[in-house]
Amino acid sequence: MTDSHVASFRQKEDEQLLQKQVSPPLDAPLSLLEAPLPRYPSFLLNDTSSKARGDVTVSFEIMPSGLVGTVRVLSGTGDDALHKPAIDAVRRWKFAPLLRNGEPARLVLQHTFRMEPERVR
Per the prediction, the chain carries an average pLDDT of 87
- pLDDT tens-digit series, residues 31-64: 999 999 999 888 888 877 778 889 999 999 999 9
Supply the pLDDT for residue 14: 82
Q: Cβ of 40: how many Cβ atoms within 10 Å?
A: 19
Residues 117, 52 contacting (CB under 8 angstroms): yes
Average pLDDT of span 9-35: 87
What gap in Å lies between CA 97 and CA 6, rounded to an integer?
25
Write down the pLDDT at residue 18: 86
What domains are defined for the chain? 3-120 (3.30.2420.10)
Measure the CA–CA gap between 9 and 80, rounded to whole angstroms: 28
pLDDT on residue 9: 67
Under the banding of pLDDT at 50, 70 and 90, the label for residue 72 is very high
Q: Is 48 exposed, middle or buried (0-12, 13-18, 19+ CB in 10 A)?
A: exposed
Predicted model pTM: 0.83
pLDDT value at 105 more than 50: yes
Region 74-89: mean pLDDT is 93
